[in-house]
Amino acid sequence: MWQYDEQMKLKVGLAEMLKGGVIMDVTTAEQARIAEGAGAAAVMALERVPADIRKEGGVARMASVKVIKEIMSAVTIPVMAKARIGHFAEAQVLEALGVDYIDESEVLTPADEEHHIDKWPFKVPFVCGARNLGEALRRIGEGAAMIRTKGEAGSGNIVEAVRHLRAITGEIRQLTTLRDDELMAKAKELGAPFELVKWVAKNGRLPVPNFSAGGIATPADASLVMQLGAEAVFVGSGIFKSADPEKRAKAIVRATTHYNEPQVIAECSEDLGEPMRGIDVAKLKPEELLQTRGW
């Protein structure tokens, strides 16, 4: 049964501290310093940004220990790193390195096509991607302390992030309108733990913070997902695949703080140089989608 015990309090606690902030993908210590200088609330250490993983193909794994260590010593903000879905040994390595958050991520090539990592035994908190409420609650049931809507990583296209956020917030709203005797059938339909379905029906929100990821490339994108109910944003390829990463990073940080002030979004959108090019998600073949990884 899901428990807000002392460990979960510490794990969710760190997620609370990241709210209203921007978590940036970085592949080198130098990028990590730029991200921190621009006001990132945390960085995500990885070997290749999603746009490059998409382009270059091959198996995408946990970043090299050397890169992670360099990034950890380069900055004082929290450092996250990605492990493959189901690859609990990679997660154990990341915990041994002392990373602050582990992202069990569909951006990397899954190591298990049936099971996710049992996240409860870890001291390090986990964030997991989700496209809908059922998926979010399954991950929370496994011990995730933060959910991020998946979007379509490396696409530079916000459409999937919007779809997933609307799905989750809409399903939560719907859940709160059900009678108690309707919740078990709903749990069955969602494929989600009954206890968590009851919790969400009663409280009208997820029991852990819900951030947004996958396709955020501009200050207005950040504003959009925040207005749709995201509590912080992950920016992957959107920063270091743009013409002026430092400027864009700073602008997205400011836009996330002032997400509901169009005047500020306008100011920080000015003169940013070219955003990442981006792709039409509808033209991707089903096997090219990253978001469908996760079960």
251 near other proteins, rule: CB under 8 A: no
Q: Are 154 and 54 in contact (CB under 8 A)?
A: yes
Among 34-42, 106-114, 155-163, 271-279, the segment contacting other proteins (CB under 8 A): 34-42
CA 115, CA 117: separation in Å to the nearest integer? 7
277 binds other proteins (CB under 8 A): no
Question: Which amino acid appears at position 175 of this protein?
Answer: L
Query: Is residue 260 near other proteins by the rule CB under 8 A?
Result: yes
User: Applying CB under 8 A, does 38 fall inside the site for other proteins?
Assistant: yes
Candidate residues 92, 109, 257, 269; the one interacting with other proteins per rule CB under 8 A: 257
Beta bridge partners of 118: none
Verify whether residue 202 is a known catalytic residue.
no
Shortest distance, position 13 Cβ to other proteins, whole Å? 5
Q: How far apart are CA 155 and CA 276, in angstroms?
A: 9
Asked whether the beta carbons of 76 and 36 are under 8 A apart, the reply is yes
CA–CA distance, 130 with 85 (Å, rounded to integer) = 12
175 is a site residue for other proteins (CB under 8 A): no
Name the residue among 55, 52, 33 with its Cα closest to residue 43.
33
263 is a site residue for other proteins (CB under 8 A): no
Asked whether position 78 contacts other proteins by CB under 8 A, the answer is yes
Strand blocks (E) in the chain? 22-26, 42-45, 79-84, 101-105, 126-130, 146-149, 210-212, 233-235
Catalytic annotation, residues: 82
Enumerate binding residues for other proteins (CB under 8 A): 6, 9-10, 13-14, 16-21, 36-42, 76-78, 95, 98-101, 123-125, 169, 172, 204-205, 209-210, 226-227, 229, 231, 250, 253-254, 256-258, 260-261
